[in-house]
Amino acid sequence: MSADVIALIDRLAKTRSLTLEEWTAAVSGFSPAAAEYAAQIALSERRKVYGNDVYIRGLIEISNICKNDCLYCGIRHSNRKCERYRLQKAEILACCKEGYALGFRTFVLQGGEDPYYTDDVLCDIISEIKATFSDCAVTLGMGERSFESYKRLFDAGADRYLLRHETADEAHYRKLHPADMSFKARMECLDFLRDIGYQVGCGMMVGSPYQTEKHLARDLKFIETFSPDMCGIGPFIPHADTPFRDFPAGSAALTCYLLSLIRIQKPNILLPSTTALGTVDPNGREKGLLAGANVVMPNLSPAGVRGKYLLYDNKICTGDEAAECVRCMARRVENVGFQIVQNRGDIKNTKEQN
């Protein structure tokens, strides 16, 4: 392992900031030894803020109907083979009820950009969840909407919003999305969310088609400057019914290295160890936790629709009931020395603000 990358990681731990050139060198410097070094620092940083606690989020995949045609995504509009579904309010509330009994205090409503979920429809669902489970947080991952729409959902009680930026490089963004989607619109949405007062999450896929080390460095620099409360990163995984079917999946080891760098850059960030990481490597989620992640998102979607929310091939946990998913996750978390805690799992403020 080169002395340069060690020096960069040490500097990152001290100043919480690197130049774009330095981020590029840090990404290029990836090796198993560099990853091990970064992981040790990341773990000690996360222990200072979160101890051994792991936060859980109950993921409810509310619809796989989507008007967008992202080239990487299995539920893209033009995938005729995708069997579509949409959950009604009563079904979503039933998932929350089951999740609450299992100890969840955050519900994540994620889905395609399905025009059925107007502001009225979503506000009604959110306010009912908040009224019924008043000690819970609601996170939304429903894609791009207007400022006014985000504001209404926030006023109805939504606490957090996940909107991965996907890539911080505009030319790369164009290679991953059709012409009617824009990098500027995506970035503008992130600013709206932040301005309204949400806890905001961005993030990217690792190893997406045409991605270079320079692109990843830009992602890291963007994360540093935007300073999100949450950051979702997972490997790209091809889906057979998309234009990217023949591209290779991203690497679990590189994903873990980037998780460590993000943790070191922002010690209090909420960092999930994702399902995609657990799909490319059977122990991926454990490895993510050992690299500095502190959040897991077991699936709470009704068993009947799980096998239909397929963003990529071979997705794990599509056959289990929610209760089994939670038990399995608790075991995995404990096996690597952490424990699941039963609370909302908000970001902890540290004196050292980024």
Q: Which residues of this protein are in contact with ligand SAH, per CB under 6 A? A: 72-73, 110, 112-113, 141, 143, 163-164, 166, 205, 234, 236-237, 239, 276, 311-312
Torsional class of 337: left (φ above 0), alpha (ψ -120 to 50), beta (otherwise): left
Yes or no: say if 56 and 329 are a contact pair by the CB < 8 Å rule.
yes
C-alpha–C-alpha distance, residues 150 and 189, integer Å: 9
Tokens (6 digits) for 122: 């979503």
CB of 248 to ligand SAH, least distance (A): 12
CB-neighbour burial class of residue 323 (10 A; exposed 0-12, middle 13-18, buried 19+): middle
Query: Based on CB atoms, which residue is closest to ligand SAH, 107 or 338?
Result: 107
For ligand SAH, give the closer residue by CB, 50 or 244.
Answer: 244
**Residue holding tokens 């897991």?**
296
Give the nearer residue to ligand SAH in terms of CB position, either 50 or 161.
161
DSSP H or E segment with residue 138: strand 137-141
Question: Between residues 257 and 309, which has the closer beta carbon with respect to ligand SAH?
Answer: 309
Q: Residue 224 CB, nearest distance to ligand SAH (Å)? A: 19
DSSP 230-265: EE--EE----TTSTTTTSPPPPHHHHHHHHHHHHHH
Nearest distance in Å: CB 163, ligand SAH = 5
Number of H helices, E strands in the chain: 14, 11
Nearest to 169 by CA among 180, 155, 183: 183
Q: How far is the CB of 234 from ligand SAH (least distance, A)?
A: 6
Beta-sheet strand order (sheet of 295-296): 295-296, 53-56, 339-341
Identify which of residues 34 and 73 has a Cβ nearer to ligand SAH in the complex: 73
Minimum distance from residue 197 beta carbon to ligand SAH (Å)? 19
Is the Cβ of residue 45 or residue 61 nearer to ligand SAH in the bound state? 61
Minimum Å distance from CB 65 to ligand SAH? Answer: 10
